């Protein structure tokens, strides 16, 4: 397919699909968006008109049954990712699936198993994008021994956080039926952390729903079973420890996100002030403090999801951001946090996506 037109069908056209995926695909040469299915045919028709897409599908199965479609971009909420992905692969379609991968590890493994049954098809999860500009540099510095041996990683994530608001409505991310075990932005940050220091070995989690009830769109009072504040302590498989806090209910938090990576010979700090830009700093043993790190041109990563997917379909490169095995690994972490929150016990993670 290196020279052929790639014909893509869209299943689900939420905010990320409209703001990133559709424009991203439309900039790729030899790519055609041929049809779209959304929650209703009427909403699909609006998206098709907005972006000049010729076809409107009655439902998502119609996209998969369209023999002219080579690949699908799945942009629904997590509760449909597994059934749609498995069905798409069974219908011979390449798959780009929105993150988070699934509602839990079991569904993620169903997706991975389907991919293994169809190794000739590309299967990609949309990656966590927020640290792409820094990932290669952080990996390179750690690999070159700039921090020495890893002692601890300390992360506090409060992007969009504010004082608790009992009048705030239920978001789909707070609905366990739709979102499963996913918790706030925990998954996307753990995905980034894995890029730098690898996976967690064992963890213990504490959390709470500081806002215990919210009102749904019909005004009904709904109990919140997904926490809005979580603290995780963990051992890292390659050595060292991690403290990881994610919250949306902390008022006046100075940083939207801050990750400190402490080693025996140096320290890295990736931080984003509220309303400011993310930046990387480093300080070695004996230095007076941390100094800004200049990102070399060769290490300047960025959003290229649609390009990578199309290149993979054409056999020009392998999927790196993010393959299904990595998605299973971050879903295992999410499941382990959920299990620890429920049991009060520490939980050991599986060793790799196939375990």
* Number of domains into which the chain is organized: 2
Say which CATH number the domain at 271 has: 3.30.360.10
Domain, as residue range, for 207: 135-301
CB 224 within 8 A of CB 174: yes
Whether 270 maps to a domain, the answer reads: yes
Q: Is residue 193 part of a domain?
A: yes
Instruction: Mark whether 89 and 38 lie in a shared domain.
Output: yes
In this structure, are 282 and 150 located in the same domain?
yes
Domain membership flag for residue 296: yes
CA distances to 10, 157, 308 from 103, in Å? 21, 21, 25
In angstroms, the CA 65 to CA 62 distance is 5
End-to-end CA distance of the chain: 33
In the block, tokens 């389907």 appear at 114
pLDDT in tens, 296-353: 999 999 999 999 999 999 999 999 999 999 999 999 999 999 999 999 999 999 865 4
Position 259 in a domain: yes
Residues 149 and 251 in one domain: yes
| Range list of β-strands (E), the chain | 6-11, 31-37, 55-56, 71-74, 94-97, 123-125, 150-157, 200-208, 213-215, 221-223, 229-236, 241-247, 255-263, 266-273, 279-284, 291-292, 347-348
Stretch 107-133: mean pLDDT: 97
Read off the pLDDT band of 354 (50, 70, 90): very low
Q: In the predicted model, what is the mean pLDDT of residues 278-286? A: 98
- Alpha-carbon distance of 278 to 133, in angstroms, equals 9
Does 83 fall in a domain? yes
Residues 147 and 186 in one domain: yes
DSSP character string of 291-304: EEPPPPGGG-----
Mean pLDDT of 236-242: 94
Q: 330 in a domain, yes or no? A: no
Residues 254 and 317 in one domain: no
Q: Provide the CATH number for the domain around residue 114.
A: 3.40.50.720
Residues 312 and 273 in one domain: no
Do residues 266 and 278 both lie within one domain? yes
How distant, in Å, are the alpha carbons of 101, 177, 214 from that of 59? Answer: 21, 21, 31
Q: Are 164 and 101 in a shared domain?
A: no
The answer to whether position 187 is within a domain reads yes
On whether both 147 and 122 belong to a single domain, the answer is: no
Q: Say if residue 116 is in the same domain as residue 155.
A: no
Examine residue 253 and state whether it is found in any structural domain, yes or no. yes
> What backbone phi and psi angles, to 5 degrees, belong to 291?
-130, 150
Least Cα distance to 61 among 30, 84, 31 occurs for 84
Residues 238 and 286 in one domain: yes
Q: Is 251 in the same domain as 149?
A: yes
Instruction: Give the predicted TM-score (pTM) of the model.
Output: 0.94
What digits encode the pLDDT tens for the residues 152-169?
Answer: 999 999 999 999 998 888
């Amino acid at each position: 397919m290196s020279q052929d037109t790639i014909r893509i069908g869209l299943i689900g056209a939420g905010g990320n699909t409209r703001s990133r995926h559709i424009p991203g695909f439309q900039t790729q040469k030899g790519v055609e968006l041929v049809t779209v299915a959304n929650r209703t045919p009427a909403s699909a028709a609006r998206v098709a008109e907005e972006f000049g897409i010729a076809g409107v599908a009655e439902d998502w199965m119609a996209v998969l049954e369209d023999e002219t479609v080579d690949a699908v971009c799945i942009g629904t909420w997590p509760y449909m990712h597994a059934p749609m992905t498995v069905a798409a692969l069974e219908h011979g379609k390449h798959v780009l699936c929105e993150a988070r991968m699934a509602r839990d590890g079991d569904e993620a493994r169903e997706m991975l198993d389907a991919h293994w049954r169809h190794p000739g098809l590309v299967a990609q999860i949309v990656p966590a994008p927020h640290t792409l500009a820094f990932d290669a540099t952080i990996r390179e510095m750690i690999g070159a021994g700039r921090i020495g041996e890893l002692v601890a990683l300390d992360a506090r994530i409060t992007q969009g956080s504010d004082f608790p608001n009992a009048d705030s409505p239920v978001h789909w991310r707070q609905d366990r039926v739709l979102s499963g075990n996913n918790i706030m932005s925990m998954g996307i940050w753990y995905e980034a952390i894995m890029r730098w220091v690898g996976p967690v070995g064992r963890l213990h989690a504490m959390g709470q729903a500081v806002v215990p009830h919210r009102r749904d769109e019909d005004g009904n009072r709904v109990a919140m079973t997904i926490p809005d504040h979580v603290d995780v302590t963990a051992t890292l498989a390659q050595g060292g420890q991690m403290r990881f806090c994610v919250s949306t209910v902390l008022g006046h938090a100075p940083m939207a996100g801050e990750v400190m990576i402490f080693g025996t010979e140096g320290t890295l700090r990736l931080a984003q002030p509220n309303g400011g830009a993310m930046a990387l700093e480093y300080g070695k043993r004996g230095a007076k403090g941390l100094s800004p790190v200049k990102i070399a041109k060769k290490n300047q990563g960025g959003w290229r999801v649609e390009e990578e997917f199309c290149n993979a379909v054409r056999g020009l490169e392998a999927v790196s951001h993010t393959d299904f095995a990595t998605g299973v690994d971050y879903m295992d972490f999410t499941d382990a946090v959920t299990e620890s929150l429920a049991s009060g016990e520490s939980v050991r993670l599986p060793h790799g996506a196939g375990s």
